[in-house]
């Protein structure tokens, strides 16, 4: 099995809370950075999707915090996508410090919305693939 796709994010001092570690909301931002970059790496063109009247939408996000992140740390964030047979799919990310310590695990539920009808499309994988999305890049 090949290495999972990942991107690296550096912790910035303004992302810290009063306890000196990364604020809980920033973990959501890190996961979104990985999703956007991962989707782009897999060939997803946001402009093409939106021009076609569709767009991925976040429906839910769950985080399991494992080890704190502090100023000066960096994390590699994976992005693994899993499609099923319904209107939603999952994107799972693991945030790993450079020493190999897992900092957090994030699981997101995503759908693809028809921007005119304001409803989820029946087959999000087909819509994504029709616009150049290569599932194999994200090791789903």
**Each residue of 31-57: pLDDT tens digit?**
999 999 999 999 988 888 899 999 999
pLDDT in tens, 56-85: 999 999 999 999 999 999 999 999 999 989
pLDDT > 80? residue 105: yes
**pTM (2 d.p.):** 0.91
Question: Buried b vs exposed e over 16-52: b needs ≥16 C-beta within 10 Å?
Answer: beeeebbeeebbeebbbbbbebbbeebebeeeebeee
Cα distances (Å, whole numbers) of residue 56 to 26, 98, 113, 124:
21, 30, 6, 8
State yes or no: pLDDT of 139 exceeds 90: no
**How far is 117 from 55, CA to CA, in rounded Å?**
12
Please report where in the chains the tokens 């194999």 appear, as a residue: 136
């Amino acid at each position: 099995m090949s290495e999972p796709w990942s991107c690296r994010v550096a912790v910035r001092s303004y992302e810290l809370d009063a306890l000196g570690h990364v604020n809980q909301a920033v973990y959501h931002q890190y996961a979104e950075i990985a999703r956007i970059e991962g989707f782009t790496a897999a060939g997803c063109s946001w402009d093409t999707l939106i021009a076609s009247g569709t767009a991925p939408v976040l429906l839910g996000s769950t985080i399991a915090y494992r080890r704190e992140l502090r100023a000066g740390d960096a994390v590699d964030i994976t992005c693994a996508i899993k499609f099923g047979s319904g209107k939603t799919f999952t994107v799972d990310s693991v945030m790993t410090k450079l020493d190999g310590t897992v900092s957090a695990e994030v699981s997101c539920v995503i759908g693809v919305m028809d921007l005119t009808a304001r409803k989820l499309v029946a087959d999000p994988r087909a819509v994504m693939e029709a616009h150049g999305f290569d599932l194999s890049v994200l090791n789903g």
